Amino acid sequence: MEGDIAEMGKYIGVGLTAIGMGGAAIGVGNIAGNFLSGALRNPSAAAGQTAMLFIGIAFAEALGIFSFLVALLLMFAV
């Protein structure tokens, strides 16, 4: 048995960051899903809430991108 055990931990850590991306996608899905549900019930108000939709998506997506950043840092920087 050979190999660097620190590298093993690094690769497992990279894989674990995907859980953060999955959670962020669930959050994004919840925001966009509720927007569509409401927009189809009251289409005339949808245009006025588009800004809020993108602000909400941006906050949730940011956390998924942080996870991706951690994965890239683990793979290429640490």
CB of 72 to its own copies, least distance (A): 8
Rounded Cα–Cα distance for residues 7 and 3 (Å): 8
CB of 40 to its own copies, least distance (A): 3
Rounded Cα–Cα distance for residues 53 and 60 (Å): 11
Residues in 15-54 at the binding interface with its own copies, rule: CB under 8 A: 15-43, 45-46, 48-50, 52-53
User: What's the DSSP call for residue 57?
Assistant: H
Number of residues that bind its own copies (CB under 8 A): 71
Q: Which amino acid is at 78?
A: V
Residues in 57-76 at the binding interface with its own copies, rule: CB under 8 A: 57, 59-68, 70-71, 73-76
